[in-house]
């Protein structure tokens, strides 16, 4: 027997206990007559640990259940609380209702006042040509239990007929005005031909079961929240995959995933929350035409395994984005991670992006994070990227790290394979760019080079190579006594290396090897430059905050006489576009 406590908002509640016993799913409420059956002990499919006599099956169901069979001519009802009018079944009081059979044009309406209703699907196939087949009109909560081993299907038509002009609800194959909960160990296929697949006007919670959802618009939509605690869920949607839409209450409009497996193929956003998208566990595979994970507020990722493919941002928050654990892979994106602020303190992150790998920018997504007409040097208030832990790998065709504010490297490990062209850089920030800890390995084109600020507390070596190195060319950094600080083979070609590690010390000599080329670098300053910029690369790039200058004329683009830094450490290369715009803007 398995048991667990469940409630809203991720908190355990001893009033609700799910048990698994002999193929039957139970929901028990301890403490008396407040149970959804109005009994001292409420269950879905039996009365828990009662006497054997109390659990005798009655008319094909367990004690306390109303047993209903659907057919093309209507519903057969054995027990109280429900009535049928042809192929329309209405449940009028709280209780447990086990439904099986098939009807090709019918509906189940729950109109039970403040009662809690449990609908056990035990091999049910129901469709409606012009309305929601499962309609929670009024009840305290509607719990749908998928009987173990059962196959169930709910589908609606492409055009609804409402009783009154101006009505636009229900609009989903499974619709509830109140809390909607899914559990059990069976399978449910939901086909939303009109709008949504599953929609709840309060909270939608999925605890277990196998759910396959297809919808012309959104797959799963909860107004106040969507919580996924377990189960195996597949969503194919013409709109968003999973959405929480309440934008008027700061405590609502959230999507929270704490377990289970979720696969989404969505034409628009994969996961969309108004206030908060939070992922603490589970396995997610998301392919989206727009952002894979999106919040108009904040995003917090502390666990789970996420595999994301996106036509826009892999993960986007209008406000703060934080990653403290888990495995996050953005295999395809325009920009990988984006938020007004981005905090990474743990986890393993891998990003492939057409433009910027990690972007901190002001404004809403796609939307308003700056365009080619904006001031590319402006500092966005509150914008920053901070890496203080974890391992981050970025393969970017635009800027690897792009902050319209500050960039702080405090811990963890950051690998950046930056652009091949000279119009973007490995690092790009408009405010401060300080490193105090962690390891940074950045490779790419030197044309728009920007490194860390001189007020950094950890040494940085910038090595310009004599010739471009092919992808796969091994990079090595060794101390004067032969100790290895770095062994790495970038996938893309590169002509410059930015390297910093807690093992680097001021006043020491280090050997840097790339392919057959090898050179020494003496760390006499916090920022140490070695070699000369290649003549074929752009001389542009931004300087350190407050120190930007337009590069002077240097025929060989080498180090200006007497200058401690290479040319191009100041102003933007003339004619190069800034790296802040979105495609098409």
The three-state DSSP-derived secondary structure of 239-290 is CCCEEECCCCCCCCCEEEECCCEEEEEECCCCEEECCEEEECCCEEEEEECC
3-state secondary structure of 10: helix
Which of these, 536, 564, 359, 388, lies nearest to 465 by C-alpha position?
Answer: 536
Confidence (pLDDT) at 423: 83
Confidence (pLDDT) at 381: 87
Residues 6+ apart with CB under 8 A from 63: 46, 47, 54, 55, 56, 57
Confidence (pLDDT) at 438: 98
Q: Show the tokens assigned to 34.
A: 């407040």
Rg (CA), the chain: 29
- Residue 54 DSSP code: G
Rounded to 5 degrees, φ, ψ at 146 are: -95, 110
Q: Are the C-beta atoms of residues 233 and 259 closer than 8 Å to each other?
A: no
Instruction: State the SS3 of 477-494.
Output: EEECCCCEEEEECCCCCE
Confidence (pLDDT) at 448: 83
Q: Are the C-beta atoms of residues 178 and 217 closer than 8 Å to each other?
A: no
pLDDT tens digits for range 396-455: 999 999 999 999 999 999 999 998 887 899 999 999 999 999 999 999 998 889 999 999
Going by their DSSP bridges, the two strands 427-429 and 439-444 should be labelled as: unpaired
Q: How far apart are the first and last CA of the chain?
A: 58
Q: Are the C-beta atoms of residues 270 and 264 closer than 8 Å to each other?
A: yes
Rounded to 5 degrees, φ, ψ at 340 are: -60, -45
List 128's β-bridge partners, or say none: 156
Give the residue ranges of the chain where pLDDT is below 50. Answer: 1-60, 363, 365-376, 536-585
Q: Are the C-beta atoms of residues 193 and 158 closer than 8 Å to each other?
A: yes
- Residue 516 DSSP code: T
Q: Are the C-beta atoms of residues 356 and 374 closer than 8 Å to each other?
A: no
The angle at the Cα of 101, spanning 95 to 104, to the nearest 5 degrees, equals 110
Contacts 24+ apart (CB under 8 A), 273-281: 273/243, 273/244, 273/297, 273/299, 274/244, 274/245, 274/246, 274/247, 275/244, 275/246, 275/247, 275/250, 275/251, 276/300, 277/317, 278/254, 278/302, 279/303, 279/304, 279/306, 279/326, 280/256, 280/304, 281/257
Domain-wise residue ranges, the chain: 64-200
Which of these, 428, 464, 468, lies nearest to 448 by C-alpha position?
Answer: 428
Q: Where are the beta strands (DSSP E) in 177-241?
A: 179-184, 187-192, 196-200, 203-206, 210-215, 220-222, 225-228, 232-237
By CB atoms closer than 10 A (0-12, 13-18, 19+), residue 522 is middle
HSE (CB half, 13 Å, CA atoms) of 22? Answer: 7
Q: Is the dihedral of CA 188, 194, 200, 204 positive or negative?
A: positive
Which of these, 136, 137, 76, 139, lies nearest to 103 by C-alpha position?
Answer: 76
Q: Which residue bears the tokens 């290649």?
A: 534
Alpha-carbon dihedral 251, 255, 256, 257, rounded to 10 degrees: 180
């Amino acid at each position: 027997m398995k048991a667990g406590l469940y409630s809203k908002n991720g908190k355990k509640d001893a009033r609700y206990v799910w048990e698994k016993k002999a193929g039957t799913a139970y929901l028990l409420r301890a403490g008396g007559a407040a149970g959804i059956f109005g009994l001292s002990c409420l269950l879905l499919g039996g009365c828990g640990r009662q006497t054997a006599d109390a659990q005798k099956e009655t008319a094909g169901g367990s004690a306390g259940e109303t047993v209903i069979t659907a057919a093309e001519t209507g519903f057969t009802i054995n027990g109280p609380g429900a009535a049928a009018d042809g192929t329309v079944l209405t449940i009028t009081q709280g209780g447990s209702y086990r439904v099986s059979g098939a009807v090709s044009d019918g509906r189940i309406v729950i109109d039970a006042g403040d009662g809690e209703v449990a609908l056990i699907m035990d091999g049910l196939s129901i469709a409606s040509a012009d309305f929601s087949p499962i309609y929670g009109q009024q009840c305290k909560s509607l719990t749908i239990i998928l009987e173990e081993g059962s196959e169930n299907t709910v589908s609606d038509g492409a055009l609804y007929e409402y009783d009154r002009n101006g009505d636009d609800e229900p609009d989903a194959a499974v619709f509830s005005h109140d809390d909607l909960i899914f559990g059990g160990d069976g399978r449910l296929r939901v086909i939303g031909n009109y709008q949504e697949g599953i929609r709840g006007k309060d909270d939608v919670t999925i605890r277990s079961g196998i759910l396959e959802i297809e919808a012309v618009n959104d797959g799963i939509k909860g107004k106040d929240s969507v919580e996924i605690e377990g189960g195996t869920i597949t969503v194919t949607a013409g709109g968003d995959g999973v959405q929480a839409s309440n934008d008027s209450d700061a405590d609502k409009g959230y999507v929270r995933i704490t377990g289970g497996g979720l696969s989404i193929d969505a034409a628009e956003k994969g996961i969309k929350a108004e206030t908060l998208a939070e992922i603490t566990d589970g396995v997610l595979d998301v392919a989206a035409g727009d952002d894979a994970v999106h919040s108009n507020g904040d995003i917090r990722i502390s666990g789970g395994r996420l595999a994301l493919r996106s036509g826009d941002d892999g993960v986007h928050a209008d406000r703060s984005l934080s990653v403290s654990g888990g495995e996050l892979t953005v295999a395809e994106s325009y920009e990988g991670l984006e938020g007004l602020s981005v905090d990474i303190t743990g986890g393993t992150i891998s990003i492939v992006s057409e433009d910027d790998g990690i972007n901190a920018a002001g404004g809403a997504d796609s939307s308003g994070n700056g365009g080619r007409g904006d001031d590319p040097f402006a500092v966005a208030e509150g914008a920053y990227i901070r890496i203080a832990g974890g391992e981050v790998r970025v393969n970017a065709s635009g800027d690897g790290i792009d902050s319209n504010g500050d960039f702080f490297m405090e811990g963890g490990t950051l690998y950046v394979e930056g652009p091949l062209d000279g119009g973007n850089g490995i690092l790009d920030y408009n405010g401060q760019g300080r490193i105090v800890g962690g390891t940074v390995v950045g490779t790419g084109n030197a044309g728009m080079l920007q490194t860390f600020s001189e007020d950094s507390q950890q040494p940085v070596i910038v090595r310009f190579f004599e010739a471009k190195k092919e992808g796969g060319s091994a990079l090595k950094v060794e101390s004067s006594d032969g100790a290895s600080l770095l062994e790495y083979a970038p996938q893309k070609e590169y002509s410059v290396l930015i390297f910093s590690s807690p093992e680097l010390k001021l006043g020491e000599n280090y050997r840097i090897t790339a392919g057959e080329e090898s050179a020494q670098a003496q760390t006499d300053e916090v920022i140490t430059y070695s070699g000369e910029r290649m003549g074929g690369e752009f001389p542009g790039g931004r300087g350190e905050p407050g120190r930007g200058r337009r590069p002077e004329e240097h025929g060989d683009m080498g180090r200006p006489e007497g200058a401690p830094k290479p040319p191009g450490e100041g102003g933007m290369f003339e004619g190069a576009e800034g790296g802040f715009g979105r495609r098409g803007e």
